[in-house]
Amino acid sequence: MADVPGWYTGFIAEVVAHLPRDIDEAKAMGWIQNPQGLEDALRELLTGDAAPTGSAIVEEIGSAFKNDKAAMGWALVEDVTEPSSIASDNIELQAIIEEGGPDLLGEEMVEYVQKITTPKLGQRHAEFLLDHPDQIPEEFQRLSLIFLGTVWRGPEGNHHVPCLSYYQGAWEITFGILEGGVESRDQMVVPKA
């Protein structure tokens, strides 16, 4: 085994001694399950060097909504929280209705979405990507990213789903009305199989 310089041992001791004691278990488990992401984050923090090209940041998805619609009188109908971490290299887009498929509106559209068996991503995933726009592939900018894993019912009775759209150089979150149907540029964001 190679000799470890004394300064390095002292440095490690100081890092461990100053780790925050109030880190929550979910966040810690996310790093435990992603040692490469932890190494990359520490490398960038301590040396200023970014992770090697192609290395994706994977971070724990938050447990609370940043845009909690319950405060506005909306009811949460469905909410998918898994997977607990995402990155640019483990998400992809899928058509909500295949080309040539039916034009659905109203309750027919809601029922169609409820029957989709493909794993879905939800609002927490959308909010994570909104906070980490570098994790959204550039080719997604021309599309509306739909997160069908979270469905809210508004006070007016419509079903709303989170959507990310790229507008004037930045991503923004909106809540689209399912009953209004979808267009070809509306693509469901899903975890890669």
- Integer-rounded Cα radius of gyration of the chain: 20
Domain ranges in the chain are: 6-47, 63-191
Percent of the chain scoring above 90 in pLDDT? 39
pLDDT at 28 over 70: no
Q: Give per-residue burial for 93-128: e unless 16+ CB within 10 Å, then b.
A: beebbeeeeeebeeeebbebbeeeeeebbbbbbbbb
pTM value?
0.68
Question: Which whole number is the average pLDDT over 184-192?
Answer: 91
| Alpha helices by DSSP H, 21-162 | 25-32, 35-47, 106-114, 123-131
Per-residue confidence band for 78, with pLDDT thresholds at 50, 70 and 90 = very high
pLDDT value for 102: 82
> Which amino acid is residue 25, in one-letter code?
E
Q: Between these two residues, 81 and 63, which has the higher pLDDT value?
A: 81
